[in-house]
Amino acid sequence: MPLSDILDVAPARSEAAKRIAESLRGAKRVGITTHINADGDACGSVAAMARLLPQLGITARIINPTPWPSIFAFLLDDTIEERTRDGVRALQGIEALIVLDVSDMSRLGQLAEGVRKLTIPRIVIDHHVPSDEPAGELLMDDPTACATGELVFDFAATLGLPISPAIAESLYTAILTDTGGFRYANTTPRCHAIAASLLRTGVDPETMYRRIYASVTTGRIFLLRDALHSIGHDAEHGISWISVTADALERYDVSPEDLDGIVEHPRSIMGTRLALFFRDLGYGKVKVSFRSTGLVDVNRFARVFGGGGHAKASGALITGSLDQVRDKVVAAAREYVGVLQSADAI
Ligand SMILES: [Mn+2]
């Protein structure tokens, strides 16, 4: 494809965008939501959509299952109605709901039950592997998109909605963070091209770097210092892991989003194919993140534990103490990778 055509929207995506616009026709107030513990793609996509809907004559209301992360506060301003604190009550009075960056209803946390009961159109824009219970019936989904933000960009492009500087910063945040700063395997020529067009709109890359990656609190670094003591590595299988204890967030006065990126430390160890991050939630459950470098499919591996996600990044919530869960998952990972090794599949 010539570089000049790279921003063309694939037919399946533009048709989905048109169906979504049709279902929104006549709506005055529309809710926007995303998954629990929103990351940069989730916040960026939500913030962009909250500024695109008014261009269609629609008032947007953000209703997330967990509070807006402070690191992404710069994406909002007082023109945006953010009603997360009202929980399911904020779903009243909306005429449609747009769910972003969510493949499975359960990822809506405390909002899931309320969203299941809605009789208004429920629209999903997402790039995860489809699940058994999508969060809506009208889908614009494509796992080949580098970020949900790419699909929101395509939604705007299909409908001819202008990308304002604030929308450009939101979409840049989405794509920058979900590609790990344009380093992961989902980094495509097209996502660089979208980033290029966003820079042309006026996004300043150094400002974005500073806000997202160079605004770390001392608590975050002290927590990392502790976590690094827990690093484990199995050179034979290429498995590395790290753990965070239940009291760490409180001790260092940090929030869950401060844990984003900690898994990159085990992942960066030479020869690592599979990186694991264990976070003790403190009530008999451990949140486990799986990251692949190379050919190990961590979506399949996460499903063994009732979780899921992408081939390269997935997660699961597992019952047990931190030590129990770590021992169990590391043992299962050795077996999983061992089978792939002996089949010469990796
Ligand atoms: Mn995403």
pLDDT for residue 81? 97
Q: How far is the CA of 169 from the centre of ligand 1 (A)?
A: 16
What is residue 183's predicted lDDT score, i.e. its pLDDT? 94
Look at residues 271, 316, 279 and name the one whose alpha carbon lies nearest to residue 296: 271
Contact 9/17 with Cβ under 8 angstroms?
Answer: yes
Q: Which fold has domain 218-342?
A: Diaminopimelate Epimerase; Chain A, domain 1 (3.10.310)
Cβ atoms of residues 308 and 288 within 8 Å: no
Domain ranges of the chain: 3-212, 218-342
Is the separation of the CB atoms in 261 and 224 below 8 Å?
Answer: no
How many angstroms does the Cα of residue 235 sit away from the middle of ligand 1? 30
Distance between CA 211 and CA 68 in Å, rounded? 15
Strands 308-309 and 29-33: unpaired
Q: How far is CA 288 from CA 22, 179, 307, 314, in A?
A: 40, 20, 9, 9
How much distance in Å is there from the Cα of 225 to the middle of ligand 1?
A: 28
Q: In angstroms, what is the span from residue 251 Cα to ligand 1's centroid? A: 29
Provide the 10 A C-beta neighbour count for residue 83.
15
State how beta strands 138-141 and 122-126 pair. parallel
User: What pLDDT sits at residue 272?
Assistant: 97
Distance 83 CA to ligand 1 centre (A): 22
Ligand 1 centroid distance, CA of 103 (Å) = 10
How close is the Cα of 142 to the center of ligand 1, in Å?
11
Per-residue pLDDT of 183-214, as tens digits, reads: 999 999 999 999 999 999 999 999 999 999 99
Ligand 1 center–CA 232 separation, angstroms: 28
CA dist., res. 49 & res. 218, Å (int): 33
**Contact assessment for residue 130 and residue 148, using Cβ atoms and an 8 Å cutoff:** no
| Residue 69 CB contacts under 8 Å (≥ 6 apart), including other chains | 37, 38, 43, 255, 257
- Of 135, 106, 166, the residue nearest 32 (C-alpha): 135
| CATH superfamily, region 3-212 | inorganic pyrophosphatase (n-terminal core) (3.90.1640.10)
Nearest C-alpha neighbor of 129 from the set 294, 315, 262:
315
* Cα of 101 from ligand 1 centre, angstroms: 5
Measured at the alpha carbon of residue 98, what is the angle toward residues 134 and 29, in degrees to the nearest 5?
145
pLDDT tens digits for range 223-264: 999 999 999 999 999 999 999 999 999 999 998 888 988 999
Buried b (16+ CB within 10 A) or exposed e, 42-81: bbbbbbbbbbbbeeeebebbbbbbbebbebbebbbeeebb
What's the CA-to-centroid distance between 344 and ligand 1, angstroms?
A: 30
| Cα of 25 from ligand 1 centre, angstroms | 27
Name, in order, each residue with C-beta under 8 angstroms of 270's C-beta and a sequence gap of 6 or more.
none
Look at residues 259, 256, 292 and name the one whose alpha carbon lies nearest to residue 276: 292
Environment class of 211 (CB within 10 Å of its CB; exposed 0-12, middle 13-18, buried 19+): middle
- Determine the distance separating the centroid of ligand 1 and the alpha carbon of 90, expressed in angstroms: 24
Q: How far is the CA of 310 from the centre of ligand 1 (A)?
A: 10
Exposed, middle or buried, 27 (CB in 10 Å: 0-12/13-18/19+)?
Answer: middle
Dihedral sign, CA of 33, 39, 45, 49?
A: positive
For residues 43 and 64, what is the distance between their CA atoms, to the nearest angstrom?
Answer: 10
Cα–Cα distances (Å) from 77 to 72, 135, 222, 274, 293, in that order, read 11, 27, 31, 39, 37
CB atoms within 10 A of CB 296: 25
CA of 342 to the centre of ligand 1 (A): 33
Question: Which residues crowd ion ligand 1, with CB under 5 Å?
Answer: 41, 101, 148, 178
∠ CA 317-321-325, rounded to 5°: 55
- Amino acid at residue number 308: G
Strand 59-62 to 81-82 pairing = parallel
CA 154 to ligand 1 centroid distance, Å: 15
| pTM score | 0.85
Encoded amino acid at 208, one letter: M
Q: Which residues of the chain have pLDDT under 50?
A: none
Antiparallel, parallel or unpaired: β 232-234 and 239-244:
antiparallel
